[in-house]
Amino acid sequence: MERETFFSLAPEAARERVIEFGGRPFHADVVRREVFERGVLAYADMTSLSQNLRDRLERELPLLSSRETHRTTAPDRTTKLLLELADGATVETVHMPSTRADKGATLCVSTQVGCPVGCPFCASGRAGLERNLAAHEILEQFLYGRSIGPVSRAVVMGIGEPLLNASNLIGALAVVHDELGIGARKITVSTVGFPERVRRLAPTKPPFQLAISLHTPDDAQRDELVPAMAGTPIAAVIEAGAEWFRATGREVTYEYCLLGGANDSRGHAERLVERLRGQRCTVNLIPYNPVAASLPGQVSGVRYRRPSGETAENFRSVLEEGGLVATVRWSRGLSTDAACGQLRIRHGSASGD
Ligand code: SAH
Ligand code: SF4
């Protein structure tokens, strides 16, 4: 069985351990405050606790179950962390400071080790799914992020398909909401949009915004681009998105990875307008990040290329003329293995094809 750590225990259970180790009940709150408010990640640095208590905690109840094994920082200060979990599996977390000095960072977190969906343009799904992350393993990514600097927003867009691990994710986000103070409107969960899962979640109004990765207006092409959803009509995905809006009052964002030469034609844009007509939503266009092409294990003859700025802008203007709100999102930190799943593969933790 996996070893107990401070954050793998419910707050009440962690408090009991602290008392067992000779501390007072409020010392457990001191630990939490040091971590959430000051970004401290070592008992040794929690100097308001006695040396004795720090030593016992260190020996018998480690703070975290994961450890940082690699870190890369891009010139724009985007920092990418590779975290090794207790069983040796690895996940990635990305800390992206705001470009405005007065705002905190956005954190990008992972929900699974690998991903079972298998989108052909994505590094994360290359080796399939190893396992779901536990709630505390998701939470710990936030704690590592917080240790780099204040975090004011989060996107659940790292490795994995969040709705296939929804209850652990929601457990982690409850703590993030209460103790890190990141509100529902500042957390975005990105999913391929399994309709029945979206519909089941919507009435529970979970504390996040929903982004659905659509990628194409054409059913046959979506079967190829999102293999685990083959056979699910796009209309059912969009209907589930509409249901989410009705139940939560929060607009859905549709994500569309622009794959040069595959789904970035004028016809695709026009058909997307038809699909989304009348929906309360926005569209984020994400130009394909081809860094994955240079990774070990990549199939030769890369199928996709990064679209030009002009193509992306043309696509956007067709959507806008059709009455949709659309933005092009060029990914940040391109020089440092930007697309999620790449750091993990480069360091040999996920096998290639
Ligand atoms: N599994 C979820 C969340 C993780 S992926 C999902 O698919 O939505 C987050 C986003 O990154 C998705 O919209 C995905 O399409 C996009 N993405 C994955 N690989 C990419 C790449 N190489 N270039 C650009 N966007 C990519
Ligand atoms: Fe999984 Fe999302 Fe990557 Fe598809 S894009 S393989 S769903 S992480």
DSSP annotation string for 35-101: HHHH----GGG-TTS-HHHHHHHHHHS-S-S-EEEEEEE-TT--EEEEEE-TTS-EEEEEEE--SST
Q: Which value, in Å, is the radius of gyration of the alpha carbons in the chain? A: 21
CA separation, residue 203 to residues 184, 247, 248 (Å): 15, 5, 7
Q: Could you tell me the two tokens for 169?
A: 């994710």
Ligand 2, residues 156, 161, 345: which to mutate, most atoms within 8 A of Cβ? 161
Q: Nearest 5°: phi and psi at 219?
A: -55, -45
**What is the CATH code for 6-60?**
1.10.150.530
Distance from residue 192's CA to the centre of ligand 1 (Å): 9
**Ligand lying nearest the CA atom of residue 286:** 1
pLDDT at site 294 = 47
- For residue 129, give the DSSP letter: E
pLDDT at site 2 = 79
Q: Could you tell me the two tokens for 137?
A: 């393993």
Beta bridge partner(s), residue 113: 131
Distance from residue 58's CA to the centre of ligand 2 (Å): 37
Ligand 2, residues 92, 94, 121, 122: which to mutate, most atoms within 8 A of Cβ? 122
User: Residue 65: CB within 6 Å of ligand 1?
Assistant: no
Contacts of residue 42, Cβ cutoff 8 Å, sequence gap at least 6:
63
**Ligand lying nearest the CA atom of residue 228:** 2
Q: Is 340 a catalytic residue?
A: yes
- Please choose, from the candidates 262, 264, 251, the residue with its C-alpha nearest in 3D space to the C-alpha of residue 220: 262
> Whose Cα sits closest to atom 8 in ligand 2?
160
Identity at 353, one-letter amino acid code: D
pTM: 0.93
User: Residue 258: CB within 6 Å of ligand 1?
Assistant: no
Q: Nearest 5°: phi and psi at 174?
A: -65, -40
Mean pLDDT by groups of 10 residues along the chain of 353 residues: 91 97 97 97 97 97 97 90 96 88 86 96 89 98 96 95 98 96 95 98 96 98 98 98 97 97 97 97 93 48 84 98 95 51 50 33
Longest Cα–Cα distance of the chain, Å, equals 69
Q: How far apart are the first and last CA of the chain?
A: 31
> Whose Cα sits closest to atom 8 in ligand 1?
191
pLDDT at site 301 = 45
> Environment class of residue 277 by beta-carbon count within 10 Å: exposed (0-12), middle (13-18) or buried (19+)?
exposed
SS3 state at 112: strand
User: Residue 115: CB within 6 Å of ligand 2?
Assistant: yes
pLDDT at site 170 = 97
Let me know the angle formed at the C-alpha of 241 by 240 and 246, rounded to the nearest 5 degrees: 95
User: Residue 124: CB within 6 Å of ligand 2?
Assistant: yes
Taking the domains of the chain in order of start, what are their residue ranges?
6-60, 67-336
| Helix or strand run (H / E) with residue 234 | helix 234-248
SS3 state at 33: helix
Q: Is 16 a catalytic residue?
A: no
Distance from residue 319's CA to the centre of ligand 1 (Å): 20
SS3 state at 168: helix
Distance from residue 271's CA to the centre of ligand 1 (Å): 21
Cα–Cα distance for residue pair 196/237, rounded to 1 Å:
9
pLDDT at site 334 = 46
Distance from residue 125's CA to the centre of ligand 2 (Å): 6
Question: CATH topology for 67-336?
Answer: TIM Barrel (3.20.20)
